Amino acid sequence: MIIFFGPAGAGKSVQGQILAARHGWRWLSAGQLLRDTHDGELIHRMQSGELVSVEIINGLMGEALNKAKDINGVILDGYPRQLEQAKWLIESRPHHGQDVKLVIVLEVPRDEILERLRVRGRVDDTPEAIDKRLSIYRGEIYPILDYLNDNNIPIIHMSGVGTVGQVHDEIEKELVSRGIVEGAK
């Protein structure tokens, strides 16, 4: 299992999806799992802006991981977002059968994030809202990274700046150097 971290606009989803397609892996996004749910009450809660409980997200992720047991690799995007989720992911390994092989933190400067999100064009992507989300992200990510590091999970910080292909090539080189994937023959 590979976990992608990075703020909104860092390119986690794009990179995760490219890796999944390239290697026949499963891309699992907590946000997508929530959007794809058929639970009317849960959809209503999300549309009204309520946060979804850790238990519900862990349950959805657990189901998705169990369905992916026969797949060689899994990429997590947007999960874990809280320390309790990280603990659940590591402690429930006997149930879902996936070891975390690598955590990739995509680093992108604030100005680049502002530009990427401006181009994305969502009304809630104001500079003030983005700064608030960046602050929340940093507050959430560091305890998770500390916990994963304490559990001897390799963590790398990589630049998310460049073309999609350039960033993908750097990620692929890292996976090859760590023996997670084989290099091109």
Confirm whether residue 22 is marked as ligand binding.
no
Confirm whether residue 122 is marked as ligand binding.
yes
Q: How far apart are CA 89 and CA 78, in angstroms?
A: 13
Smallest CA-to-CA distance from 148 within 88, 94, 58, 95 is with: 88
Question: In Å, how far are 2, 14, 31 from 99, measured between CA atoms?
Answer: 9, 22, 22
Confirm whether residue 15 is marked as ligand binding.
no
Confirm whether residue 79 is marked as ligand binding.
yes
Residue at token pair 């150097």? 177
Tokens coding 138:
């940093």
Confirm whether residue 52 is marked as ligand binding.
yes
Confirm whether residue 6 is marked as ligand binding.
no
Confirm whether residue 137 is marked as ligand binding.
no
Query: Phi first, then psi: what are they for 152, rounded to 5°?
Result: 60, 35
Confirm whether residue 138 is marked as ligand binding.
no
Confirm whether residue 35 is marked as ligand binding.
yes
Confirm whether residue 133 is marked as ligand binding.
yes
Q: How far apart are CA 146 and CA 148, in angstroms?
A: 6
Binding residue ranges for AMP:
35, 50-52, 78-81, 85, 122, 133
Binding residue ranges for ATP:
120, 162
Binding residue ranges:
35, 50-52, 78-81, 85, 120, 122, 133, 162
